[in-house]
Amino acid sequence: MSLWLDMLGSEIRFVDTRSFGRTRIAEAGRGQPETLVFLHGIGGHLEAYAKNIVPLADRFHVVAYDYVGHGLSEKKVMEYTPLVLADHLGELLDALGVKRAHLSGESLGGWVSGIFAGRNPDRVARLILNTSAGLPVRTEKGKAELEALKTLSQKATGQAPTYESVRARMQWLFHPDNQEMISDELVRTRLAFYTQPIMREVAPRVLGMIGRHDEFLIPLDKIRAQTLFLWTEHNPVHDVETARIASQQVPGSELYVMRGKSGHWPQYEAPEEFNEVTRKFLTSGAI
């Protein structure tokens, strides 16, 4: 199915933030009493949530957005860290007039969400860390995969993106049995973002966050929001054991491992299960 058919019923618009400029959002369910904000992964964009925004608008005011330096949001030549992106999230909530929201972040999105929740406990209702980065890597396999990812990212910064390189990077995100989900439209959408001229300066700064992973770990002991660690058996770098150990450091948190086949993008690879678990956890605090 087309990304835009998946997102039919959502509104795509730009919101001005104080320090980070124009921010592209996809929004549905405006008027619902509770807001749910989706945060994508590094080098990603809001289309990562194409299969979740409209279905979950039956219960929530749903917002997915492009970080500064990503997608079609403003590009700034600056230092990029999860702390900076957490500040961007706060300014976006302010611009939308949202005082308190549920957060669900995948990969870098979980990293940013966790940092934001630790720093702003009064602004986070419930928190879903979806195959999140920003956790201490516990296994030798995970440590090796993180080093390999750092190497790949360093190589990518010196090369112009191509259709083939973007597709190869997306293959890393998906379960081996879900490679057919990487459509031509999805690859070309991401390639269009990557080939914006300003990205020659911005992309290396964004990808540099991977090499600094352990400098900005999520302050798990400061998270007060009820938290769900949503994981997959095939998630690279941060495996289930890493998530299990991290979940023990957040009082009252739960760990859910996806039953459907999925890798690093469960919200896209197994959307029906993801949406069901998300709806249940955010409305009841249980899974």
pLDDT digits (tens, 9 = 90+) for 233-243: 999 989 999 99
Residue 14 predicted with pLDDT over 90: yes
The pLDDT of 165-178, averaged and rounded, is: 94
Paired strand residues for 102: 36
By CB atoms closer than 10 A (0-12, 13-18, 19+), residue 227 is: buried
List phi, psi (to 5°) of 72. Answer: -110, 10
Residue 146 predicted with pLDDT over 80: no
Residue 126 structural domain:
3-284
Cα–Cα distance for residue pair 59/176, rounded to 1 Å:
32
Check residue 149 and give its pLDDT.
Answer: 74
The pLDDT of 268-275, averaged and rounded, is: 98
Check residue 17 and give its pLDDT.
Answer: 98
When pLDDT is cut at 50, 70 and 90, the band that residue 159 belongs to is: confident
Q: What is the CATH number of the domain that holds 250?
A: 3.40.50.1820
Amino acid letter, residue 285: G
Tell me: the pLDDT tens digits for 217-228? Answer: 999 999 999 999
Residue 116 predicted with pLDDT over 70: yes
The pTM score is 0.96
How would you classify residue 97: left for phi > 0, otherwise alpha for psi between -120 and 50, otherwise beta? Answer: left
Check residue 153 and give its pLDDT.
Answer: 67
Tell me: the pLDDT tens digits for 252-267? Answer: 999 999 999 999 999 9
Check residue 141 and give its pLDDT.
Answer: 82
Q: Mean pLDDT, the chain, as a whole number?
A: 95
Total structural domains within the chain: 1
